Structure 1
Amino acid sequence: MSMNINHQLPLPDVLKEQYPLTDELRSVKSLRDSEIRKIFTGESDKFVVLVGPCSADNEDTVCEYANRLKKVNDQVSDKLMIIPRVYTNKPRTTGDGYKGMLHQPEPDKAPDLLAGIIAIRKMHIRVLAETGLSTADEMLYPENRSYLDDILSYEAIGARSVENQQHRLTASGMDIPVGMKNPTSGDLSVMLNSVTAAQHSHHFIYRGFDVATSGNELAHTILRGGVNKFGQTQPNYHYEELVRLAKLYNQWNLKNPAVIVDVNHSNSGKQYKEQIRIVSEVLHSRNYNSDLKKLVKGVMIESYLLEGRQDISDHMIPGCSITDPCLGWEDTEKLIYEIAEKC
């Protein structure tokens, strides 16, 4: 095989010993996990706001963003559960392009996964330590989540991974909410099959071990829009789509029916300013229909310190996305306060 070994990576337990969570931070995360669980089981009516950059590309700017989120969170925590998006590994449609801090802790330099797994663990811990807000990440590589599984309070499985067996089985062994996105085709049955698999127990190989899982009753759906055979975007956040999903949930008899609406990607056609309008429509649909109020647990928003995006170069502006375009901070802060008023 044309494969060279660059590094033997440390086992997750070894990395956790080198960069540990303190007892205090474990306690903070445990309380957050308990509160988030109550939202997805219906015991709490708080509304989830998963918000942050498309890709967490720099520790200092991500932490500056998270600290701004904390100040807003202090004002709205009675109504909202804000979970910072700290996404450190990015799927690439063609395999080319920036794959996140896991691959490139410094985006303008060569990949270094050994440095990457250290960098992302340190960043997630720093966000938690500075803000008290436990984080969300995408489970792009199921076996890599072991480097972060003691830190994260939420994980998403992306549109290109949701049909993968290893993602589904790994999700069945998680004790935090895991959101299954609809695939890029928009096929809701694929997404619901993935939730079904994640909610069941399984027996499989994981990191070289023979493991058994008990199932994850907090596995749920994420609507992110799709594309048709001509590559045209087809949003699925409208009222009729939400009602359709509610009916499907009733037919599939899944535990803890829940959906998060991703207001960017194919729902916005990556027109990042549209996220503001889409959030408003989702909230209106919830308030119009009591069943949807119970089903729609939150929204996922892509935002950073500065709006838009930039290419990777030697003169990048800190806090501006290097992947998909994002809302800027001023719009984000205003939007979160509006969500708190209307949810």
Structure 2
Amino acid sequence: MNTSISALPVHLAPATVLTQRLPSAAQLKQQLPLSNALARQVSQQRQAIRAILNGDDSRLLIVVGPCSIHDPLAALEYASNLAALAHDLRDDMLLVMRAYIEKPRTTVGWKGLAYDPHLDGSDDMAHGLTLSRELMLEMLGMGLPIATELLQPIAAGYFDDLLGWVAIGARTTESQIHREMASGLALPVGFKNGTDGGVAIASDAMRSAAHGHRHFGVDSQGHPAIVQTPGNPDTHLVLRGGHSGPNYDRTSVAKARAGLEKNAIPARLMVDCSHANSGKDPLRQPEVFNDVLAQRLEGDRSLIGMMLESHLFEGCQPLSATMRYGVSVTDGCLGWDATEQLLRGAAGKLQAQRQSALAIA
């Protein structure tokens, strides 16, 4: 029996959905192109990160920057500071700029620069996509590798040519859609452990992403498409703690490493020094960082790096008409001065160990 929509009961009739056409990923990339020189730079940065993951480069991989970007001027000032520091510490660390322009929300809230660049609920996503790509290109121009969390797979195509490293968050690591997306990314991807603190979900995600998939998606012109992916061999685990507490201590790291090895997955671990590992206290991040650094200095080569949430000034603030410059509007962050002191101190310890090893040799 054919039933018209108008004849359906009210509770079964489809809701009215308002839509607005966005530029396709191909159109935005054409409008804001990646130059040949920067494309080579991104390729080299990805290869440098792969070398750390594979143990061919002994440096630590440090993903550091604001929890989320909301103020382009403050973000670029932070990036300028980080670029200078990255140059100074280049022998011991590879610093990667957090350029997070999407934010997962447990219920509702500001979803990030790509969604609401004006911070007023207007959700001017067309401008948000343009502004986000412009910022990433400026950061690349400073020589920085770029990291982000890919939350909305449709949005990934607007930035995938700019990124050196990608995170899949604790809430989306279990998602088949995100595993399929990761299998098609030609760059390293870190899967965070689930919110329960266990690593089994992330382990399954890495195994899935390593394989090729055929899945529903969109092409670069924005048309629905069957997407075929080759599989991604450059994934790793990110320990971020869970409901039961932190998981960066030696026992937790050893348990995570054993779980990966049991599933024949390369044991390469990054520790997120924020979130449950710091008890959501941004000022405890150095404590977590230094504990992980000590494990690395003691010889645990499975620990390939750390992640820090850091901005120009410490803390966080709500969205308002009178916001403080350089302060996060999502998770609380470590301030720049404390971040620089922490990273320079760590580089000094790594350098001392490296020089000691050379002297013995």
SS of the aligned residue for 1:270 comes to: coil
- Residues 178-198 of structure 1, C-alpha deviations (whole Å, 9 max, x = no match): 110011111211111111111
Q: Could you say which residue in structure 1 is the equivalent of 2:305?
A: 298
Find the counterpart in structure 1 of residue 35 from structure 2: 22
Deviation at 1:109, TM superposition (A): 4.6
Give TM-score scaled by structure 2 length. 0.90
Sort the Cα spacing of 1:29 and 1:237 in 2 relative to 1 into closer, same or farther, 3 A. same
Say whether the 8 Å CA contact 1:185–1:227 is kept in structure 2: yes
Q: Which of 116, 121, 145 is equivalent to 2:133?
A: 121
Tell me which of 286, 289, 294 is aligned to 1:279: 289
1:200 to 204, 211, 236: 211
Q: What SS is found at the alignment partner of 2:227?
A: strand
Residue identity opposite 1:47 in structure 2 = L
Q: Is 2:78 the counterpart of 1:65?
A: yes
Q: Output the CA distance in 2 between the equivalents of 1:295 and 1:341.
A: 21
The one-letter code of the counterpart of 1:246 is: R
Structure 1 position 308 matched with structure 2 position 331: no
Aligned counterpart, 1:215: 231
Relative to structure 2, which stretch is displaced further, 328-337 or 100-109?
A: 100-109
Aligned partners of 2:68 and 2:102 also within 8 Å: yes
Alpha-carbon distance in structure 2 between the residues aligned to 1:251 and 1:341:
35
Select 1:9's aligned residue among 2, 7, 22: 22
Q: What is the 5 A alignment of 1:144-163?
A: 144-163=155-174
Following superposition, the deviation at residue 60 of structure 1 comes to 1.2
Using the alignment, how far apart are the partners of 2:267 and 2:157 within structure 1? Answer: 27
CA deviation digits over 1:302-336, x for unaligned, max 9?
A: 00001001111111112100011100010000011
| SS of equivalent residue, structure 2 residue 53 | helix
Give the distance between the partners of 1:123 and 1:2, measured in 2 at CA.
Answer: 36
131, 145, 152: which is aligned to 1:134?
145
Q: Which runs of 5+ in 1 are unaligned?
A: 229-233
Q: 1:267 — aligned with what?
A: 277
Aligned mates of 2:175, 2:121 — CA distance in 1: 30
Q: Which residue of 1 aligns with 2:10?
A: none
Which residues of 2 match residues 24-103 of structure 1 at below 5 A?
Answer: 24-94=37-107, 96-103=108-115
CA distance change for structure 1 residues 3 and 87 in 2, over 3 Å: closer, same or farther? farther
Q: Deviation per CA, 1:37-81, whole angstroms, max 9, x where unpaired?
A: 111121111101100011111111101000000111111101110
Letter in 1 for 2:259: L
Q: In structure 1, give the amino acid aligned to 2:257.
A: A
Match of 1:239 in 2: 250
Greater than 2 Å deviation, 4+ residue runs: 1-6
Contact in 2 for aligned 1:308/1:325 (Cα 8 Å): yes
Aligned to 2:282, the other structure's residue is in SS state coil
SS at match of 2:339: helix
* Matching residue's letter, 2:105: R
The Cα offsets for residues 3-55 of structure 1, whole Å up to 9 and x where unpaired, read as: 43341111101110001111121122122122111111211111011000111
The CA distance in 1 between the partners of 2:285 and 2:128, in whole Å, is 30
What TM-score, normalized to structure 1? 0.94
Q: Name the aligned partner's letter for residue 44 of structure 2.
A: L
Q: Which amino acid aligns with 1:185?
A: D
User: Deviation of residue 107 (structure 1)?
Assistant: 1.6
Equivalent position SS for 2:94: strand
For 1:257 and 1:285, the matched residues in 2 are separated by: 15
Identity over aligned pairs, percent = 35
Structure 2 gap segments, 5+ residues each: 1-13, 219-223, 351-361
- Deviation digits for residues 146-171 of structure 1 (CA, Å, limit 9, x no counterpart): 00011011100111111000000110
Q: Using the alignment, how far apart are the partners of 1:245 and 1:341 within structure 2?
A: 28
Q: How many matched pairs?
A: 332
Shift of 1:257: 2.7
